[in-house]
Amino acid sequence: MRPADVVVALDVGGTGMKCALVRADGAVLHTERHPTDAERGPDAVVDTVLGVAEGLAGKARADGLDPVAIGIAVPGVIDEARGVAVWSANVGFRDVPLRDLAQARLGLPTAVGHDVRAGGLAEARLGAGSDAAHVLFVAIGTGIAAAHLVGGAAATGAHGAAGEIGHILVRPGGPRCGCGRPGCLEAVSSASAIGRLYSARAGAPATAAEVADRAAAGEPLAADVWREAVEALADGLATGQALFDVETVVIGGGLARAGALLFDPLRAALHERMTFHREPRLVAAALGDEAGCLGAALLALDSLEK
């Protein structure tokens, strides 16, 4: 690539999209954020995504840069080989051929990827996992999802659904998960589950961040809910380690902001669960909520090398 070459990167979420112009060396030259307004329906969202991408390509050209490819990260089940958003509940996509639509409208090669796998790609190559060849990236927010990265590439699975660690069964008969089954990891340890479980027991609403603060302040109910979430998370990560044998587990998403309050007990609980497996290094994500957008840029850059 030439010095003026950039890729257009978009990370499309349920509420907003993070966008950037990124150079081949990973330098971010320009960023934008736009609302997704998913309630308008999939056609309108696709039109917004393509319009924003077009605007970014135009901005690049106006700045004397040359947009050479597009990378788009989307949540849900993504068929990366075909560039199709198979099912994205958050943005209302079902079988949307996003890659073909973007290529047709902008005339640029386009890569479409899964948002958490894109985030994991960025953390593994540029962020907290960059010194390891085998990395598990776990994003904990509204839900829990993961990406397994080997040598800087993410495994997608046969159907584009690899990494759904949030739906490991950790508490049979436990709280019902959004997927319909009781006891999934996501139903106990996601930020929204922590808030929900505490609120149900306390009889008053609270967010996971508030539960964390109250647990740190010594409130017994908050400490119980927090401990249960950490224990279940350690069960999930121990299963992940049995499957993937990674060097580094990178924890991202909103819950990682709890810092030592999460990482200290989680390390101890994971340590207890290791028998013959090597214990992974457990670290906080380094790229924050930019990871998905940077990962989309990496997908676009990778697609040019193929």
In the complex with Zn ion, the residue whose CB is nearer, 10 or 165, is: 165
Element (H, E) at 74: strand 66-74
In the complex with Zn ion, the residue whose CB is nearer, 30 or 171, is: 171
The least distance separating Zn ion from the CB of residue 236, rounded to whole angstroms, comes to 11
In the complex with Zn ion, the residue whose CB is nearer, 21 or 77, is: 77
Which residue in the block uniquely carries the two structure tokens 């930019």?
290
- Binding segment toward Zn ion, per CB under 5 A, in 40-48, 82-90, 162-170, 273-281: 162-170
Does 146 participate in binding Zn ion (rule CB under 5 A)?
no
Does 145 participate in binding Zn ion (rule CB under 5 A)?
no
- Binding segment toward Zn ion, per CB under 5 A, in 109-117, 127-135, 182-190, 243-251: 182-190
Is residue 188 a contact partner of residue 200, using CB atoms and an 8 Å limit?
no
Does 167 participate in binding Zn ion (rule CB under 5 A)?
yes
Query: Which of the 8 DSSP states describes residue 280?
Result: P
Does 177 participate in binding Zn ion (rule CB under 5 A)?
yes
Choose among 60, 103, 34: nearest CA to 300: 103
In the complex with Zn ion, the residue whose CB is nearer, 105 or 171, is: 171
Order of strands, edge to edge, in the sheet holding 110-114? 28-35, 16-23, 5-12, 66-74, 110-114
Does 179 participate in binding Zn ion (rule CB under 5 A)?
yes
The DSSP code sequence of 198-223 is HHHHHTS---HHHHHHHHHTT-HHHH
Does 163 participate in binding Zn ion (rule CB under 5 A)?
no
Is residue 34 a contact partner of residue 293, using CB atoms and an 8 Å limit?
no
Query: Which of the 8 DSSP states describes residue 294?
Result: H
The least distance separating Zn ion from the CB of residue 280, rounded to whole angstroms, comes to 23
The least distance separating Zn ion from the CB of residue 180, rounded to whole angstroms, comes to 7
Cα separation values, 110 from 42, 82, 102, Å: 19, 11, 7
The least distance separating Zn ion from the CB of residue 126, rounded to whole angstroms, comes to 30
Does 212 participate in binding Zn ion (rule CB under 5 A)?
no
Among 98, 184, 262, 266, binds Zn ion (CB under 5 A): 184
In the complex, the residues that contact Zn ion under the rule CB under 5 A are 167, 177, 179, 184
